[in-house]
Amino acid sequence: MSPRGVAVPDIRERLFAAAERVVARGGPGALTSRAVTDEAGCSKGMLHAHFGGGLDEFVAELVLDRFSRTAALAAELPQRAGQETVAANLAAVGTALLTSAGPAMAGLAVTRPGAATRFRDAMAAGAPGFASVQEAVAAYLTGEQRLGRVAAEADPEALALALVGTAHHLLMTSWPGAPDPTAQLHRVIAALAASGAAR
């Protein structure tokens, strides 16, 4: 336990990681400020000290942080045109989307009214999320099209929407203990890669 008045390095990430463990272990209903700080091994007021809006702000910020990381990963995708296979590159981004915040955490961000409002406001203000990932995937597929690895008649923007929309659907309709949605995502990616294959 961190003593009061002592700075805790990387406290945001420590609290975020603790919250993910709490939810993974006990489901969304187990997430409380006290459960998070106990799991993180820090004082009980630490969460409220760093997130003035309480648990709702904390949940929204956690999901935004994880989506931001995925968007940063996706931003590197266009540079991978011509490397590996198209399906493997799409799978890397799709899998990152599914695991960005985890189904339970993403569900909390849209079902807790306060968190949902903060999350939507941040998205509307341009926070990186699904739209950023979709743009990066479309740019990647356009690059592959120029290299002849995606058919000239394929629609990169539609294929990107299909991938990101599928990941979004699977993320929002999964829950702890449900079957892993990764296999479903990979089936869709294989179908997308086949439909866009150069002929």
**Where is pLDDT greater, at 59 or 197?**
59
Residue listed under structure tokens 């805790």: 8
Task: Among 12-26, 89-103, 133-147, 167-181, name the one with the lowest average pLDDT.
Answer: 167-181
Task: Identify the sign of the CA torsion 181, 184, 188, 190.
Answer: positive
pLDDT of residue 2: 41
Compute the distance between CA of residue 91 and CA of residue 94 in angstroms, rounded to an integer: 5
Q: How confident is the model at residue 176 (pLDDT cuts 50, 70, 90)?
A: low
Task: Among 15-19, 21-25, 26-30, 182-186, name the one with the lowest average pLDDT.
Answer: 26-30
Query: Does residue 4 surpass a pLDDT of 50?
Result: no
Compute the distance between CA of residue 19 and CA of residue 4 in angstroms, rounded to an integer: 21
Q: Report which secondary-structure segment, H or E, holds 161.
A: helix 156-172
Which among 43, 170, 38 has a CA at the least distance from the CA of 95?
A: 170
Q: Put residue 80 in one of left, alpha, beta given phi > 0 → left and psi -120 to 50 → alpha.
A: alpha
The whole-chain average pLDDT of the chain stands at 85
197 - beta bridge partners?
150
**Where is pLDDT greater, at 185 or 172?**
185
Look at residue 152 and give its three-state secondary structure: coil
pLDDT of residue 36: 94
Burial (0-12, 13-18, 19+ Cβ within 10 Å), 77: buried
Those residues whose C-beta lies under 8 Å from the C-beta of residue 124, and which sit 6 or more positions away, are: none
pLDDT of residue 124: 85
pLDDT of residue 7: 46
Residue range 24-52: mean pLDDT, rounded: 89
Q: How confident is the model at residue 181 (pLDDT cuts 50, 70, 90)?
A: confident
C-beta separation of 136 from 73 below 8 A: no
pLDDT by residue (tens digit) across 64-104? 888 888 889 899 999 999 999 999 999 999 888 887 766 66
Rounded to the nearest 5 degrees, what angle is found at the Cα of 195, between the Cα atoms of 191 and 197?
A: 110
Is pTM beyond 0.85? Reply is no
pLDDT of residue 175: 65
Q: Record the tokens describing residue 83, joined without a space.
A: 């490397």
Burial (0-12, 13-18, 19+ Cβ within 10 Å), 53: middle
